Amino acid sequence: MTTTEGGTMTGTGYTLVIGDKNYSSWSLRPWLSLKACGVPFAEDRIRLRMPESKAEIFKRSPSGKVPALKTELGVIYDSLAIVEYLAEQYPQVGLWPADPAARAAARCVSAEMHAGFQALRNDMPMDLISRFPMPELSETLENNIRRVVAIWMDTRARFGQSGPLLFGGFTNADAMYAPVATRFRTYGVPLADFGDDGTAADYVDAIYAMPDMADWLAGAEVEMRERELV
C-alpha cells in the first residue's frame, strides 16, 4: 500500500505522506518545496483509487486527504499549510521572496491557486504520463486558463527578472503552479489562444527543466509501470 523512500531522516524526522505521483497534484506541491529546502525526508506513498485508500489516508492525516507532513511537532496537513511551515523553518531558502511587494504577490497568487480554479481541476485532472486532447471548453474553464496565463505573465513581468520562474528563483508560488503547468502539457493547451505572449509557454518549459520536477516525473513513470504489473 505504501512505499517509504527519500533516505535517512537525520535532523528533521520528516515524513511526507503523498498519493500517486502521476495523479496527486496536491502532493507534488509540498514535495517540491521540501526538495528546495535540501532537507532529508521520507515518503509514505498511498496508492490512490483503491478501496482501502481513504482508510489508509485517515490513519496518517486527520483531514483524510494527502499531503500530510509528519514532524516532531505533529502532523501538518494541507499543502499550503505545509509550505508555509517550511518557509518559517528554513527562511534562508527563500520559499517566499525577500522583497515585500514580491512576497505579498507570491502569497496572493498561491492562495488563489489553493482556493480556486475548480473547473481546471475537474476538467483537466493531473495525469503526468498520459496525453489527452483538450476537454470541451466551458466558459468557466476558459476563464480559469486565461486567469492562470495572466497571473504568469504579470508575475514574470513584475518580479521574474532574476530567473526563469514566477519570481525569478524557485518559491512556493512555483510549487503551487507546477501541477497546472503539467496539465497544460498533458492536454496540449494552445496557450497563445488564451492570451499568452510566449511567457506562459516558457514558464511551462522552465517547470519541466527543474531537476526536482524530473525526479518526480521519473517516480510517476515507475509507479505507472508497477500498476501495469498488478
Please give the tally of structural domains in the chain.
2
Distance CA(42)–CA(108), nearest Å, equals: 30
Distance CA(193)–CA(116), nearest Å, equals: 21
Helix-then-strand count for the chain, H and E = 9, 5
How confident is the model at residue 101, as a pLDDT? 98
Q: Which residue has the higher pLDDT, 51 or 195?
A: 195
Structural domain contains residue 223: no
**Domain final residue, candidates 77, 92, 107:** 92
User: Edge-to-edge, what's the strand order for the sheet holding 42-45?
Assistant: 4-5, 42-45, 15-18, 68-71, 74-77
User: Residues 108, 207: one domain?
Assistant: yes
Q: Tell me, what amino acid is at 125?
A: P
Output phi, psi for 45, to 5 deg: -95, 130
Distance CA(109)–CA(44), nearest Å, equals: 29
User: Residues 47, 107: one domain?
Assistant: no
pLDDT in tens, 88-131: 999 999 999 999 999 999 999 999 999 999 999 999 999 999 99
User: Residues 82, 131: one domain?
Assistant: no
Distance CA(174)–CA(160), nearest Å, equals: 12
Cβ count near 1 (within 10 Å): 11
**Domain final residue, candidates 92, 123, 151:** 92
User: Residues 203, 109: one domain?
Assistant: yes
CATH number of the domain encompassing residue 47: 3.40.30.10
Domain around 178: 96-211
pLDDT in tens, 179-215: 999 999 999 999 999 999 999 999 999 999 999 999 9
**Domain final residue, candidates 33, 60, 92:** 92
How confident is the model at residue 97, as a pLDDT? 99
Structural domain contains residue 229: no
Structural domain contains residue 71: yes
Structural domain contains residue 227: no
User: Residues 109, 145: one domain?
Assistant: yes
Q: What count of residues does the chain have? A: 230
For residue 225, what is the enclosing H or E element? helix 211-229
How confident is the model at residue 196, as a pLDDT? 99
* C-alpha cell belonging to residue 184: 497544460
pTM: 0.93
Distance CA(85)–CA(79), nearest Å, equals: 10
Read off the DSSP letter of residue 50: S
User: Residues 101, 190: one domain?
Assistant: yes
Structural domain contains residue 17: yes
User: Residues 64, 166: one domain?
Assistant: no
CATH number of the domain encompassing residue 114: 1.20.1050.10
